[in-house]
């Protein structure tokens, strides 16, 4: 096995600087993805109508259950 050729200090500096630039763009990209994934309001905005219908139906069912329970207690 042969060792890689030795690089000059200028080549090393250039390689380090190129790596810094790549990391900067990677960090910005990662930050954008984290923001996108942690935005819990986005699905609510996209599905507003379905969520409102579901909430109304749930409220109707819970309300009906409470009325049924109260009427059962009154019969006793």
Both 53 and 75 in one domain: the answer is: yes
* Structure tokens belonging to residue 33: 């993805």
The confidence score (pLDDT) of residue 33 equals 94
pLDDT along the chain (76 residues), means of 10: 80 94 94 92 93 96 92 83
Q: How many residues does the chain have?
A: 76
What's the pLDDT score for residue 53? 97
Query: Phi/psi of residue 47, each to 5°?
Result: -115, 35
pTM: predicted TM-score of the whole model, two decimal places: 0.48
C-alpha to C-alpha distance for 66 and 57, rounded to whole angstroms? 14
What is the domain count for the chain? 2
The answer to the question of residue 2 being in a domain is no
Please tell me whether residues 51 and 27 are part of one structural domain.
no
Nearby residues of 15 by Cβ (< 8 Å), 6 or more positions away:
7
Q: Report pLDDT for 55.
A: 96
13: in domain: yes
Q: Is residue 76 part of a domain?
A: yes
33 shares a domain with 50: no
Cα–Cα dist 33/66, whole Å = 44
* 25 occurs within a structural domain: yes
pLDDT at res. 10: 93
Predicted pLDDT of residue 1 = 60
């Amino acid at each position: 096995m042969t060792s890689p050729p030795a690089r000059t200090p200028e080549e090393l500096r250039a390689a380090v600087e190129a790596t810094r630039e790549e990391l900067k763009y990677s960090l910005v990209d990662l930050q954008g993805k984290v923001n996108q994934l942690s935005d819990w309001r986005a699905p609510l905005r996209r599905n507003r109508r379905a969520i409102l219908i579901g909430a109304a139906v749930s409220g109707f069912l819970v309300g009906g259950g409470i009325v049924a329970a109260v009427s059962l207690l009154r019969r006793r």
